[in-house]
Structure 1
Amino acid sequence: MINDEIRAKEVRLIGADGEQLGIIGFREALQMAQDANLDLVNVAPTAKPPVCRIMDYGKFRYEQQKKEKEARKNQKVVELKEIRFSATIDEHDFQTKLRNCIKFLQDGDKVKLSVRFRGREIAHADIGRRVLERVATESAEHCIVERVPKLEGRSMIMILAPKQSS
């Protein structure tokens, strides 16, 4: 709340340069802010009496928005990449998909590994589990297992997350 929006008889006032001015009546505090061509901003409305500060509110809002924009720019969005295997995957195909998996993990993305069982392959789900566990062991230095292999319908799914570089 700023200026006339504040509904208190007395406020604890902080000056424009940060010094404490003590408990002052609201009208007097508002007059001091207007004399300095600044705004009276309520910074702690729940305190008794409320704490108000004399500052340039427009400049304050601009600085806040700049900080928020900078924080948004620096955050990394983690994507979930999916790599599909088959239970009867050949060695070269396996190595190619493993390389892609490691590349995704190094980029900081999570990887969802799935084995799709077709026809009667579902009776040998242990073969699919071995394929997923082999991927996990061969890429162990780049990842941690976030979700162990689990059969869901005709697919077995496992999720790997990148190791945090500390």
Structure 2
Amino acid sequence: MINEQIRDKEVRLIGENGEQLGIMSARDAYKLAQEAELDLVKIAPTAKPPVCKIIDYGKYRYELARKEKEAKKKQKTVELKEIRLSPNIEANDLNTKVNATKKFIAKGNKVKITLRFRGREMAHMQSSKHILDDFAEQLADVAVVEKAPKVEGRSISMVLAEKK
């Protein structure tokens, strides 16, 4: 809320340089803001009495937008990459997949390892679980198992994340 929109009887006023000007009526505070050719902005509406500040509203909104933009820049999005394996994978193929996973984890992504079963392979799901255990063991130096291997329909999957 700014200027005439502030309808409170009393407000705690902060001057343009950050000094406390005390508690006064909203009208008096608005008059002081007009004399300084600035805006009266309510910055803490839930306080008793509400806190208002004499500032340039356009500049205030610009500063808020800039701070928000800075905060967004510092955010890091973590992608979930997926590596698919089959139960009859050979050792060299498994090593290739391990190296690809290491690259993903080095970039800061999480990796979902999926062991897919087709047809008759479905009957031997539990005996193939060791493939995921071996996979996690080979990556133990760079990654930690975030979500343990779990059967989901025709596949078993687990999630690996970067070791902290």
Which TM bucket (shorter chain)?
Answer: over 0.9
Note the C-alpha offset of 1:128.
2.6
Take 1:36 and 1:148, find their aligned partners in 2: how far apart are those partners? Answer: 64
Note the C-alpha offset of 1:6.
0.6
Pairing of 1:99-118 with structure 2 (within 5 A): 99-118=99-118
User: What amino acid sits opposite 1:66 in the alignment?
Assistant: R
Match of 1:30 in 2: 30
User: What amino acid sits opposite 1:49 in the alignment?
Assistant: P
Note the C-alpha offset of 1:103.
0.7
1:137 matches 2:137: yes
- Give unpaired runs (5+ residues) of structure 2: none
What is the percentage of aligned positions where both structures have the same residue?
57
Query: 1:73 aligns to what SS in structure 2?
Result: helix
Pairing of 1:59-98 with structure 2 (within 5 A): 59-98=59-98
* Aligned residues of 1:87 and 1:127 also touching (Cα < 8 A): no
Pairing of 1:22-61 with structure 2 (within 5 A): 22-61=22-61
Query: 1:7 aligns to what SS in structure 2?
Result: coil
* Aligned residues of 1:33 and 1:40 also touching (Cα < 8 A): yes
Pairing of 1:118-157 with structure 2 (within 5 A): 118-157=118-157
User: What amino acid sits opposite 1:60 in the alignment?
Assistant: Y
Query: 2:77 aligns to what SS in structure 1?
Result: coil
Note the C-alpha offset of 1:126.
2.9
Note the C-alpha offset of 1:127.
3.7
Query: 1:17 aligns to what SS in structure 2?
Result: coil
User: What amino acid sits opposite 1:67 in the alignment?
Assistant: K
Match of 1:5 in 2: 5
Query: 1:8 aligns to what SS in structure 2?
Result: coil
Take 1:57 and 1:147, find their aligned partners in 2: how far apart are those partners? Answer: 49
Consecutive aligned runs of 4 or more in structure 1 exceeding 3 Å deviation: none
CA offsets, 1:47-105, max 9 Å, x none? 22211111111111111111111111121111110000011101111111000011111
* Aligned residues of 1:86 and 1:128 also touching (Cα < 8 A): no
TM-score by length of 2: 0.95
Query: 2:108 aligns to what SS in structure 1?
Result: coil
TM-score by length of 1: 0.94
Take 2:82 and 2:69, find their aligned partners in 1: how far apart are those partners? Answer: 31
Query: 1:47 aligns to what SS in structure 2?
Result: coil
